[in-house]
């Protein structure tokens, strides 16, 4: 789609493109040595602002649930979140542009050889409030054994103190935490595939249509894979719609 003033206004009624960053997803966004936002989400945000010819404002959130809760508060114009039917009530999602595995990190003492035994052995699992994997697991067998924490740091603390037998999270992040804990394991296979997408607040159909088309083109030409590889994520995780 060609970019014109109607599309720019549909995206950014304030005049600047406000893009929400979810720092709860450490695979997609973090901070550089100077403390500035950096990562896959930031590169994609800059590419979209360049495409639209708009000034970019990065709006920082610590958790996915905070991004979702702000969807109806006119605080951001585009976001990066995993697709979920509950979130889709207030956010219009693009097709996913990357697949990320959701896995369990369990303590050395946890009695589970694989992901299926987490449920069959009624392990206590810590999850982060409002995350994609929390929303998913809350709809699955074993949901009664979930303990919801406000953020990943509290969830890790619960694991370390024995409040829970394991925690759920993004595979790359869970493996990094396992490496810091002797005997801890990341169970296979993943319990879900997290389909990461971009989104606009519901009620902006022109912006949503353009965003979907733009992101799909970016994936088809290989630019998404390049961005993933730049930040240490396997480029084959990119999804071509």
Q: How many residues does the chain have?
A: 241
How far apart, in whole angstroms, are the C-alpha atoms of residue 104 and residue 190? Answer: 7
> Do you find a cis peptide bond into 189, omega within 30 degrees of 0?
yes
How far apart, in whole angstroms, are the C-alpha atoms of residue 2 and residue 80? Answer: 23
| Assigned CATH topology for domain 101-192 | D-Maltodextrin-Binding Protein; domain 2 (3.40.190)
| Buried-exposed string 208-228: b where 16+ CB fall within 10 A, e elsewhere | bbbbbebbbebbeeebbbebb
pTM of the model: 0.89
Q: What pLDDT score was predicted for residue 234?
A: 86
Q: Tens-of-pLDDT digits for all 241 residues of the chain?
A: 689 999 999 999 999 999 999 999 989 999 999 999 999 999 999 999 999 999 999 999 999 999 999 999 999 999 999 999 999 999 999 999 999 999 999 999 999 999 999 999 999 999 999 999 999 999 999 999 999 999 999 999 999 999 999 999 999 999 999 999 999 999 999 999 999 999 999 999 999 999 999 999 999 999 999 999 999 988 878 888 6
How far apart, in whole angstroms, are the C-alpha atoms of residue 155 and residue 175? Answer: 15
The token pair at 139 is 């709809």
Q: Are 127 and 148 in contact (CB under 8 A)?
A: yes
Mutual orientation of helices 223-230 and 40-52 as an angle, nearest 10°? 140
CA distances 238 to 38, 96, 103, 112, 221, Å, are 19, 9, 19, 31, 11
Q: What pLDDT score was predicted for residue 32?
A: 96
Phi and psi for 175 in degrees, rounded to 5?
-65, -40
How far apart, in whole angstroms, are the C-alpha atoms of residue 196 and residue 174? Answer: 17
Phi and psi for 124 in degrees, rounded to 5?
-85, 125
How far apart, in whole angstroms, are the C-alpha atoms of residue 94 and residue 91? Answer: 10
Distance between start and end Cα atoms, the chain: 16
Phi and psi for 118 in degrees, rounded to 5?
-60, -45
Which residue ranges make up each domain of the chain?
5-98+195-237, 101-192
Domains 5-98+195-237 and 101-192 share a fold: yes
Tens digits of residue pLDDT in 84-114: 999 999 999 999 999 999 999 999 999 999 9
Mean pLDDT of the chain: 96
CATH code of the domain occupying 5-98+195-237: 3.40.190.10
> Number of helices (H) and strands (E), helices first, in the chain?
9, 12
Q: What pLDDT score was predicted for residue 238?
A: 86
Phi-psi region of 202 (alpha: psi -120 to 50; beta: other; left: phi over 0): beta
Give the DSSP H or E segment for 203.
Answer: none
């Amino acid at each position: 789609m060609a970019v014109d003033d109607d599309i720019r206004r549909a995206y950014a009624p304030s005049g600047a493109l406000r893009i929400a960053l979810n720092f709860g997803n450490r695979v997609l966004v973090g901070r550089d040595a100077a403390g500035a936002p950096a990562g896959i989400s930031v590169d994609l945000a800059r590419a979209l602002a360049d495409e639209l010819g708009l000034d970019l404002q990065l709006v920082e959130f610590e958790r996915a649930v905070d991004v979702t809760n702000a969807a109806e508060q006119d605080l951001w114009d585009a976001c990066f979140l995993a697709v979920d039917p509950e979130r889709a009530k207030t956010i219009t999602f693009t097709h996913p542009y990357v697949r990320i595995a959701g896995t369990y990190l369990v303590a050395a003492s946890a009695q589970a050889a694989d992901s299926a035994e987490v449920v069959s052995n009624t392990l206590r699992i810590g999850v982060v409030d409002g995350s994609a994997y929390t929303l998913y697991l809350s709809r699955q067998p074993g949901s009664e054994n979930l303990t919801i924490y406000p953020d990943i740091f509290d969830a890790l603390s619960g694991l370390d103190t024995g409040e829970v037998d394991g925690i759920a999270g993004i595979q790359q992040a869970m493996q990094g935490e396992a490496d810091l804990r002797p005997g801890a394991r990341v169970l296979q296979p993943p319990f879900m595939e997290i389909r990461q997408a971009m989104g606009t607040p519901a009620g902006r159909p022109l912006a949503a249509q353009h965003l979907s088309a733009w992101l799909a083109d970016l994936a088809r030409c290989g630019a998404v894979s390049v961005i993933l590889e730049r930040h240490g994520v396997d480029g084959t995780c990119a999804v071509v719609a």
